[in-house]
Structure 1
């Protein structure tokens, strides 16, 4: 079985509850976000609107971050989750440049890349 998630960005109101929940679940340091809410202004005053879009790892089928990692710290599991071994990471940032979703960052505590792991610890039974 391969996992997936659905986010209807049309219903996003920019509350950042998803970002806060993720930071809490993974003890992400202050000033760092693995998940963030992108805001785009559309139209011209006075007819403007703000569009929100949740940005996070999409666990790509052919993940460019996995392909580019020189030490194979990123890998795709059998269930489709793109996971990460920070013990292998050398902090070269190649994965950050390759990701089309800007979903990786350097963890200031470990100086290695980090990303959403689909809360794999919650789906493993």
Structure 2
């Protein structure tokens, strides 16, 4: 995987807003109570799963939002201790919990609201025991956390669990620097949009439209 730049392509036409990616992520990574790394938002009406417009002219789409694993991440630039860093093998933006001092500068610098969370207290789990992958990182008090692109799975040659679990096959993952990869071919053949491209972060998540 050395020298690769991995990312996601999410087919907003196929996505049905089932939240399977969110739940699979939460289980795989043993996320604490009230912590979600991958949110499913409704681009439509004022409430979840509602459309905008007046019948029969309605409009609705689902947008899954997590860390954008930017090529030029603002969070990495502001971290004073190197706890937020880009993985050289995958291009994923990662967090080193042991280095994190809880200053939350990465949260302030990130233009993508809500993709990070801060553990004010010791992480708790309502069922009382861990359910995640044994290789997933252990959550710690007073640290920032977010989507890791399931780097523990990548290290084993597996794809992120949200991609594997997607029932509608709307999520795709692969090497953006390889023109022959499935994800590169998808992006080349479809119209797409990215979140806040004007920020100059060069996100590695493409929303196919």
Global fold match (TM > 0.5): yes
Runs of 5+ unmatched residues, structure 1: none
Partners of 1:116 and 1:43 lie apart in 2 by 30
Larger Rg: 2
TM-score (norm 2): 0.55
User: Which shifted more, 3-12 or 114-123?
Assistant: 3-12
Partners of 2:111 and 2:41 lie apart in 1 by 14
* Residues matched between the structures, number: 125
TM-score (norm 1): 0.89
After superposition, give the CA deviation of every residue in 1:49-106 in whole Å (9 maximum; x if it has no partner): 3221010112111111111112211001112111111111122222112222232111
Partners of 2:98 and 2:52 lie apart in 1 by 47
C-alpha deviation, 1:13, in angstroms: 1.3
What residue is the counterpart of 1:9 in the other structure?
Answer: 12
Give the root-mean-square deviation of aligned CA atoms: 1.6
User: Which shifted more, 77-86 or 98-107?
Assistant: 98-107
Partners of 1:44 and 1:8 lie apart in 2 by 23
Q: 1:104 aligned to 2:113? A: no
| 1:44-123 correspondence runs (5 A) | 44-46=53-55, 47-79=57-89, 80-102=91-113, 103-107=115-119, 108=121, 109=123, 110-123=141-154
RCO higher in 1 or 2 (8 Å CA, sep ≥ 6)?
2
Q: Secondary structure at the match of 1:54?
A: strand
